[in-house]
Structure 1
Amino acid sequence: MTDWAVPPLKEEGPPAASMSIQPRPLDGNRAALLLLLTQNVVTLLLVSAAKLPLGLSLGLSFVATGLLAALLLRPALRRLTRDSRWRTPPAILTALGALVLGVIASRGILLFVQSVAPQSLGQINQFQTAGWDRYALLIAGGLLIPFAEEVAFRGLLLRGYEWARGPLFAAIASSLLFALAHGVPAQIAAILPIAWVLARAAQASGSFWTGVVIHALNNFFSLLLAVLLSGSKVMAQAHKELENMKALPLSFGLAGLLVAAACMFVATLWLRPRSDVPAPVGGSVVGGSLVALLLLVAVVIAGQFVPLGALLGR
């Protein structure tokens, strides 16, 4: 039996009755804020102040995020583990197909960015490490961090928003928030297609774990390529070209944008949400945690253009 077709969902009880055990919209806001704050602050402190290598710092930030989540988000996490998506195995073929579409669309958008603002590509994170820390980076950045981000964005936030506003609103909102959380403008544009297929694949397969598979495969093999090329002439040349990036012809960029749009169109038609949310039941999706999250994202994005010291008047 293939998982390309969307299987029918068994009838469940009334939405009002099951809502009490489902993630709430504000659960997702708080989880995303906690993840972004802890992951970035802890990693920055460990790398800059403690002088720890990147892979180890990311691993320790994952541990810190998990401990704080267990302390502050225990009821929300309990609701997530009771949800049907948590208990449903991943749809592997769906994950692979969605990943291919998302990666192609992401690269198409990067071509467009290179044609209109090539200098912005130099701001994309370059994961540099050496020695044993390369393996720590693969584990932390390729497996642990994707799992934590999926819990926050496709577990709590997507599911909570679905119950409040429906699957389309939830997919759009969670994708935008996830992309914005990466802070770098060029990276935001490139991650949007990946974020969209992550949300739609979870909705279409009825499994939280489908998104985990997509996210882990994308991160792990991207990092694996960077690790294998680390210190090589190829990587040195790539860094040099990024620093002196020249604009592609606009026709190339528009072609890339057209390919990205076609991939997203196919993904949207194919990855149709299952009816595991019978009808939106309402509820607030805006709270102090969401406002704080958006303000934090705005500061991170502004920091790409204005040094932090300038923002603080120093």
Structure 2
Amino acid sequence: MDVVSDAIAAVRVGRPSSNRLRVSGRWCVRLSRYEGAGFHVVLGGSCRLLPDGGGEPVDLGPGDVVLLPHGASHVLGHRAAEPAEARRAVPFEEVRDTDVRLPGDGPEVELLCGKYRLDRSRAHPLMAELPQVVHLRNRVGAHPGLRSAVDLLAGELTGPRPGSALAVPGLLDLLLIYLIRAWMTEAATGVWPTALTDPVTTAALRALHAAPADPWTNDSLAAAAGVSRATLSRRFTSLVGRPPMAYLTWWRLTLAATRLRDSEVPLATVARECGYGSPYALSHAFSREFGTTPGRYREKARAAGPALRAS
């Protein structure tokens, strides 16, 4: 797997959900903070997003997509909505999956709203670096993959179709990938958009993510990247923020935590898959990193599972 796929897979839990909403008038709906990432696609009309906490309003036009990767609470409203109106916003749960006409004049707006459940306990720094709001404007020729995913998803949600129960979650996962790709393309600054365009760092990251259990050393990783050990260390550490072997250790333990959370495989299997020679070696490293044993971590994750996996 590649870095972006791994970063998403490490935090994704449960099934994504979505709702198609038609609303008109002087409307405002509130979406509370949640443990996940949310998105909105404007299928028709215009509206405004008002972030909580005093952030700048975001004006959304036809075809615009907005991603809220950290689940920040916010209000969606008519295109001239002001922060003062946010206090009177209707909870989103009261209007989802409906055609709503609220008092006042205003054109109809059609939205596709959805969310992903995420376990943020071991979020990859790529996911952590995403801003509170990612606004991707509709531009001709920009991000054709994203546009296609939006069109397919909107079509599936127009009414019941054979296979929709499988198609919609798959398209929602695809949409998240395209949203993150688009952000990386448009980001003017940022650690990970820069790191993943540097050929040396990208080659090293791909090697580590493709085979995290291999017995990597600085020398063998430098050879895989086609540079000297000194060059690899300098460029990787500068862009990623930690030396290659420190990143590998962190990623192996993140993979172990994910396997413990999502499966019932024996600890010996987890250790082998994550590059540790024995369950004891994994337990020692895991306890040092997480402050708890793998067994207790699994028990806690299992107890939290129903809440995390609720859609």
Greater CA radius of gyration, 1 or 2?
A: 2
Q: Considering Cα pairs closer than 8 Å and 6+ residues apart, tell me whether 1 or 2 has the greater RCO.
A: 1
TM-score using structure 2 length: 0.27
Q: Which has the higher helix share?
A: 1
Normalising to structure 1: TM-score of the pair?
0.27
